[in-house]
Structure 1
Amino acid sequence: MSQQQRNLAEAESSPAAVPGETPPAYRPAQSDDDARSTAAAATGAGSGPARDQTEEKSGKKRRLQYPPAPEPLSVPVIDNHAHLDFRDGQIAVSVQQALEAARAVGVLGALCVGYDVASSEFSVTAAEEHPQLKAAVALHPNDAPVLAAQGDYDAAFARIAELARHDQVVAIGETGLDFYRTGEEGIAAQRRSFEDHIALAVERGLALQIHDRDAHAEVVEVLDAAPALPRAVVFHCFSGDAELARICNANGWYMSFAGTVTFKNAHALREALAVADPQLILVETDTPFLTPHPHRGQPNAPYLIPQTMRFMAEVRETGLDSLCQQVMLNTTQAYGSWT
């Protein structure tokens, strides 16, 4: 049996999703007993920070209810980027529950991504306990300047390098440059950290997951200047335009599209998706952020990947099944077999 056949068999063996209904694990508890049961089931999950319950730009209160499940995919895919340690809304969902809800709609697993030492340790532990997960470890570009100013960067990076030796780690990330939240005074520390993470990915033979916010040209500059590049370079939550997509095409860099591609004002992002090399396209949630339209602002979860995939197929003017098959192949090309 081929890997694709095994993936299909796994998806078919999962409980059928009920389109239009929120998966049970993501629904509010109906009683005190339900609440205690849910909290007990979620032990070990949601141990990271809580997502802000107001919208970043408008300051309005967010809707904290999880969206309904979309129609399942016929051909399964992997969520390329998820933060399963984050808490959001009022529901405590275990990693196992999140994976079961995802699998029921044809999402066979996820890359659990670190952004500091604690979350990277969480990702490794989660991947040890759940074969549907792989781990990525790193220091976030917005954390690097803070750690450097405190004199803690070297120790933190040494721990990331130690975690990178784990068998379940397939990528270094998320790392990169972020000029949206970090000012001029922190850019040098960000760049040093980015370069360190690139070198670590090369040393360990791992993929690289890039966080690029308002820094497209500078990220490309660092990649071009690197003595060597990792086995796979992935732009997580790709946010560039068609020009950056063509640069990625030319260099063989992967572009991972999130729910942002469905946002009403994301015209340039959709143009980028339209010209992206199909062999370089990935899909992600960035859970619990970036929930696809029309549920923008609500909590996100891996089970919502089919909504983004359907939208991507429309933009690409291609069949959903063929795009899913290509995305799954790309995922295994970037990270290796997902077993």
Structure 2
Amino acid sequence: MNRLIFFILSLYIFTGCANPEKKPDRRVSSNQNAHGFQIEKSGELTRLTVFNPWEKAENVSFEYFLVKKTATIPDSLTGRRVIKTPVERVICLSTTHLAFLEALNETMAVSGISGRQYVSNQKIRARMDQGEVPDVGYGQNLNYELILNQKPELIMVYGIGSEVTSHTQKLEELGVPVIMVAEYLEETPLGKAEWIKFIGTLFQKEKEAEEYFRQVAEEYNRLKKLAAGKTDKPKVLVGSPYRDTWWVPGGNNYLANLIADAGGLYLGKENPSHESYVISFENALAWGNEADVWINMSNLASKEEILSVDQRFKSFSVFNEGKIYNNIKRLSNHGGNDFWESGTINPHIVLRDLITIFHPDLTEKETTYYQEIE
């Protein structure tokens, strides 16, 4: 209902941009998996809408109007968020954004990043080393002077909470267009990947984005169907404690869905949330004795390192008799983990890895993101 009201209130602005003598065709995107954005086209204009772009946001939306650089901005868009396309200089405040640009062959458009140490993309790292792509900071530590010196045509941001709006507002006051990207909130792997369609519009690469996602979804669904035929589903324990607190994904989290699609039984699936939650060590011990597979335990790379966190892991049945795999095979020396970067846009490869772990008889592939812990 809220999205319907929002649509009605903004309809006049959108249709008013067109020639009143000839009403243009209006086309609204029909996402297959993603819920956090909408693409609407009317004539030469594109309107992007982002819904609830941070944790626990309710009835929050942002809209952006894309106007070709060769066109004149209509008077009806005065005071609206306008982005001139194709974007040729962009600052990315999340490494996942880089993965989308890599898939669209647009890494040369990157003129700034946040979190230098976490970047895995080798093309971007080479340009960082050459001084072409600086680290502009994040949140309260954003370097506004450096940002302006880079002359970005757009900054792609994400928000953990509503406080992000104070930073986006200041950037907009400085004349820098900003767009919210919230793929990380999607509950399914394909939902995350489908944001390539959203980002593709910024570079006038809608067709390329559609084709990329089509191929990814086709392969993902093929593998999912393959795993669905297995009746012996291994029970899966996820995570490890951080500073004595053990966070696990909710039962509707994208990782929980990945495990299910790979033919596994996630032991935290009874919690219906898509957000992470804390479990007690007693609960973890019970799951550790029930699990057949243990995955995603921070950056721990050996059983010795696991025991250095807590010697009580020796009592876990899965530690002694099960499989232990961690998503650190593409962990770099500088701290970046490509699982969280390119894995976002390649969920079919992550799914194949998990199927290889859960049901090795179904695949003949080496894992890409996961390595066995011994």
- Tell me the TM-score normalized by structure 2: 0.30
- Relative to its length, the structure with more strand (as a share) is 2
- Could you say which structure has the greater relative contact order, defined with CA pairs below 8 angstroms and 6 or more residues apart? 1
- Tell me the TM-score normalized by structure 1: 0.32
For the pair shown, the structure with the greater C-alpha radius of gyration is 2
